[in-house]
Amino acid sequence: MNQHIRSEASNNVQPIPFIDVAGQRKHLGKAIDDAVAKVLNHCQFILGPEVRELEAQLSGFAGVKHTISCASGTDALMLVLLAKGIGQGDAVFCPSFTFAATCETVALVGGTPVFVDVDEHTFNMDVASLKKAIATAKKLGLKPKAVIPVDLFGLPADHDAIAAVAAENNLFVLDDAAQGFGGIYKSKKIGGIGLAAATSFFPAKPLGCYGDGGAVFTNDDQLAETIRGLRVHGQLPGKPEFSHIGITGRLDTIQAAVLIEKLRIFPAEIAARNKVATRYAEKLGQYAIVPHVPEGYTSVWAQYTIRLQPGRRDGLAAALKAEGIPTAIYYAKPPHQHEAYKRFPQAEGGLPVTEKLSHEVISLPMHAYLDEPTQDRICEAVKRHLTA
């Protein structure tokens, strides 16, 4: 997910981490050492007891019947699409203001990603554009099958509005919660919305492991059973028959052990991230367009992304870099503009908001261990350079 991160300092300035994984590791201390040592002692490195324990704890956290852990967030998306039989001629609707994995998985299983524009205030899927994309797919002779909203930068999408359109068009909803797991949408926890949700445990995510990892969440018994088989080459546990063509998509036991310890502190970290976001908004709101969180939503702030007037971003990024303050741009070039995805259709009218945002957004350091003096240093530097 990391794109265009600028972090080198000059003039002997102490650099600030963009995401402080080391700070979290220090906070967790011996608990992580003991958890990993336990796995090293029992040597059940694939689908060991910690995997089952993690899945049970994640189900409790998200309020769902089933959690199926897997090797990455990309695998999580693809396992659901495989289980639902998405293939040639099937249209799956995806925003383009996101990481490429969202649409990549659709293409990998043989379906057609159809790109949808986003709302400029939330950065999430725009329902009016979704309706246009469905009409576009039908005109092209494609069969509308699914929609993949993305909880971008940690903020839940407008799931009720998307679900209504999906129901009208007989689509299933697969929530891409790679950045949004832990968020809340109108009292509903992310993970328990739609037919299924997929998340990533990449180290930079709000809940991340020490390598790649992911999970699928669902309340559908049959879907859960199918995915459990698909992640092990299509063979269901305890059965000799390969019922589906699957993948190697298992989560390593060591990563599960790490995630169990991280899940214990996750609620406190979400609260800390929201405190940081509140201070950012207070200090930067008059100098830049700060993120908008609708009433009833809780973000986990996978990124803190502001918008600047066109032409200001590169200068700010360079100035902050010189002061040891890293920035990142998500996404300077949305997937629909990349060579691999240019051939896929877009909603009628194109994606003007996505393309506008790609020239305006810049992300600042965000993590649960960003203390107030460091945050003040960042805000003062941003204000100084935007008012110069």
Q: What is the DSSP string of 248-283?
A: B-PPBHHHHHHHHHHHHHHHHHHHHHHHHHHHHHHH
Asked if residue 16 is part of any domain, the answer here is: no
Final residue in a domain of this structure, among 218, 234, 260: 260
Cβ atoms of residues 361 and 122 within 8 Å: no
Question: 313 and 217 in one domain?
Answer: no
Question: 298 and 187 in one domain?
Answer: no
Question: 149 and 208 in one domain?
Answer: yes
Q: How many folded domains does the chain comprise?
A: 2
Asked if residue 166 is part of any domain, the answer here is: yes
CATH number at residue 380: 3.90.1150.10
In DSSP notation, 287-299 reads TSB-----TTEE-
CATH number at residue 58: 3.40.640.10
Asked if residue 173 is part of any domain, the answer here is: yes
Question: 134 and 106 in one domain?
Answer: yes
Band (107; pLDDT cuts 50, 70, 90): very high
> Domain of 364?
266-386
Q: pLDDT (tens digit, 9 = 90+) per residue, 113-171?
A: 999 999 999 999 999 999 999 999 999 999 999 999 999 999 999 999 999 999 999 99
- Please name which of 182, 198, 190, 201 lies closest in space to residue 256, comparing C-alpha atoms: 201
Question: 255 and 274 in one domain?
Answer: no
Question: 284 and 213 in one domain?
Answer: no
Q: pLDDT (tens digit, 9 = 90+) per residue, 173-199?
A: 999 999 999 999 999 999 999 999 999
Q: 9 pLDDT exceeds 60?
A: no
Question: 286 and 229 in one domain?
Answer: no
Q: Is the dihedral of CA 368, 372, 374, 376 positive or negative?
A: positive
Asked if residue 99 is part of any domain, the answer here is: yes
Question: 303 and 252 in one domain?
Answer: no
Spatial neighbors of 236 by CB under 8 A, at least 6 apart, are 225, 228, 229, 243
Question: 237 and 297 in one domain?
Answer: no
pLDDT the model gives residue 238: 81
Asked if residue 20 is part of any domain, the answer here is: no
pLDDT the model gives residue 2: 45
Final residue in a domain of this structure, among 235, 260, 285: 260
Asked if residue 10 is part of any domain, the answer here is: no
Asked if residue 17 is part of any domain, the answer here is: no
Question: 249 and 318 in one domain?
Answer: no
Name the pTM for this structure: 0.95
Question: 342 and 251 in one domain?
Answer: no
Asked if residue 18 is part of any domain, the answer here is: no
Question: 203 and 83 in one domain?
Answer: yes
Spatial neighbors of 299 by CB under 8 A, at least 6 apart, are 153, 154, 155, 156, 180, 183, 274, 277, 291, 293
